[in-house]
Chain A
Amino acid sequence: MTPRDFVGRIGFYVLIGLVTAFFALPMLWLVGTPFDEQPGLALSVPDPTLGNFSELLDNRFALPSLLNSVLLALGTAVLVVAFAATAAYSLSRVRIPGRDVLLYLLLLLSSIVTGTAAMVPIFLLMFELGLIDSRVGVVLVLSGGLLPAAIFILKDFMDSVPKSYEESARVFGASAFQILRDVVVPVIRPGLATIAVWTIVNVWGNFLVPFILLRDADKQPAAVLMRTFYTEGGAPNLALISTFSLLFSIPVVVMYLFVNRKYGFRFYGGIKS
């Protein structure tokens, strides 16, 4: 190794170190502060305690908002997985005229009609339908937005499953329903799991849609409620914010680990866990 290479190598590691620090710095607060006797905004070596977690119980809205997040996430996941799976199966196996055009159109639509660009009509639509302050309304809007991509991904998945599985079952005399239950669903289970996790993580972190559609703090999910902890006047309750943040982020981190372990994150990286 020449001295120049050596200096270059050192420089490289210093750069990697800086980038790592850049990404780690904001997150360190989340790891330390919840367990700090005197939670502050600055990073500090914690004086270990679990006392901060009692704040979660003291706040009337904190835990129920997490439950709301669970309801929204599961509700949307059920709708998206069920509807996307049936649609993808049909589109993959039955020659419906104009199928490919339809798929690309859906894809185009879902990528341009984002929550941000369509917040005005969506807000008005839900207003007219009387679905403001309704968790069902939020689930429906989120499902509508996530379905096209879910169908697209599942159809690709379905296309890679040999058609001979179903044909072979038909030769045995299995009915369409038996084929679905005994062959198709078990075979595409990994795809369904991926879509479910993908939906849950998306809904879990979504702020905008519940923010504009839910006014009642009793119905708001954690993503929306959390903002009220630090934007409403007075000094923010750091014990509450830190413990709440930790609890709120654990599920997505766990699911990330699950997907990573089970299917390899790299492969599904593009669809964002």
Chain B
Amino acid sequence: MAAIKLDGLTKVYPGGVRAVDDLTLTIPDGEFFALLGPSGCGKTTLLRTIAGLEEATSGSVRIGDRDVTHLPPGKRELAMVFQDYALFPHMTVVDNISYPLKIKGLAKDDRLGRAVKAGDELSLDGLMQRRPAELSGGQQQRVALARAIATHPQVFLFDEPLSNLDARLRLEARTFLKRLQRDLGVTTVFVTHDQAEALAMADRMAVMDAGRIRQVGTAREVFQRPASTFVANFIGSTPMNLLSGVVRGQAVNVSGQIVQLPGDARQHVTDGQDVVVGVRPEYLSLSQSAADGALRGVVAIVENLGTASLVTLESDGFTVAATVADGEEPAIGTDAWALPIPGRTLVYRREDGELVDAPVVAAVA
């Protein structure tokens, strides 16, 4: 078991694309860590650079106390599960699981024993003599996991491990994968573009964009306090309301309506500053009567989310969405007021999209 330390890691492809840009990050021993971001953000490249499948342009990768930056992938003592699982089609399940052990030079009995043990742990007994093509997607995934586990690596790397499963199986596999990682206690990095997956599984996560990390934190931190409008947009199954406005004293004027500034933000703004007010639909309480500090609008759309409904209010210059409990939806066309729950309103600078209490970084030219 080992921690992973990335220091100033940069990967530039021939042609000048900076897929990973001066990235520094520490993943403690035993952590289940997610790399989250839209496609093309560099998360897969980062994972492949940790694996050694891509050569870092500069910076270093350390696993435990070893600098592995210039080691070939096979010498890094890690195991990787690919998006398509990369099970060799011409080998049986047991041969697939024991193949890495054969490469590592284990005697035949040893590798068979370890393969069978790993297979048993993932309930693959009975499938050991089959070929990958004869397995379901979920079974293939477990074979890929067993193959990774059997090598007893220091680090697991998962590249979109759930994306090839259908929706129902994906939920099962989430729970399964999380429990497996907890039981094994092996430092694990997994890549996903699905924010729900990252929130559900990871101890901590990094949200990436354009080769840089935009925020690192636990699921709760990232969900409750997105560090920028980019993260705010990306995280959450219903997108956060982001309302442009101008600071006026202790409040923000959003197209003529007033939203109170949260206490911790007051000292970081100046009168007349352009800001973006962010508040999650889940943190807005909706009422049919006027309330102080609430945003007024006309109910335009009601979407059923199952246990709750998402209500969209339209007003002059903006729309705002709020969730209400099932059965409490207002009628379409009526007036409604959305009141932010105290302490859940965030204020971002409009010029760079960062929280107003974040230090101002010189604008990148």
Contact = CB atoms under 8 A, between A and B. Distances in A.
Nearest to A95: B14
B72 A170 contact: yes
A171 B79 contact: yes
A189 B88 CA distance: 13
B361 interface: no
A187 B89 contact: yes
B73 interface: yes
Given A171-B79, A186-B88, 11 more contacts: A164-B82, A167-B82, A168-B80, A169-B99, A171-B51, A171-B52, A172-B79, A172-B99, A172-B104, A173-B73, A187-B88
A173 B86 contact: no
Interface residues of B, number: 22
A189 B73 CA distance: 27
A182 interface: yes
A164 B79 CA distance: 13
Given A167-B53, A186-B90, A187-B90, A173 B103 contact: yes
Interface string B71-85: 011110011101110
Contacts of A171: 51-53, 73-74, 78-80
Contacts of A25: none
Nearest to B95: A182
Contacts of A165: 86, 88
Contact of A164 (B52, B86, B99, B151): B86
Interface of B: 51-53, 72-75, 78-80, 82-84, 86, 88-90, 99-100, 103-104, 151
Interface in A166-196: 167-174, 178, 182-183, 186-187, 189
Closest 10 CB pairs of A and B: A173-B74, A172-B100, A168-B86, A164-B86, A186-B90, A164-B82, A171-B73, A171-B80, A174-B103, A170-B73
A-side interface size class: 10 to 19
A178 B100 CA distance: 11
Q: Label chain A's interface by main secondary structure.
A: helix
Q: Label chain B's interface by main secondary structure.
A: loop
A167 B86 contact: yes
A43 B345 CA distance: 97
B45 to A, nearest CB: 13
B88 A173 contact: no
Contacts of B72: 170, 173
A162 interface: yes
A172 B53 contact: no
Nearest to A165: B86
Given A172-B103, A173-B100, A174-B103, A164 B83 contact: yes
Among A162, A169, A173, A186, the most chain B Cβ lie within 10 Å of the Cβ of A173
29 contacts: A162-B84, A162-B86, A164-B82, A164-B86, A165-B88, A167-B53, A167-B73, A167-B82, A167-B86, A168-B80, A168-B86, A170-B72, A170-B73, A171-B51, A171-B52, A171-B53, A171-B73, A171-B80, A172-B104, A172-B151, A173-B72, A173-B73, A173-B74, A173-B75, A173-B100, A178-B103, A183-B88, A186-B88, A189-B90
Contacts of A164: 82-84, 86
B115 to A, nearest CB: 13
Contact of A182 (B51, B73, B79, B99): B99
A165 to B, nearest CB: 5
A187 B131 CA distance: 13
Contacts of B83: 164
A174 B74 CA distance: 7
A17 B26 CA distance: 78
A22 B144 CA distance: 57
A37 to B, nearest CB: 52
Among A165, A168, A186, A189, the most chain B Cβ lie within 10 Å of the Cβ of A168
Contacts of A189: 90
Contacts of A187: 88-90
Interface in A32-55: none
Contacts of B99: 169, 172, 182
A118 to B, nearest CB: 39
A170 B88 contact: no
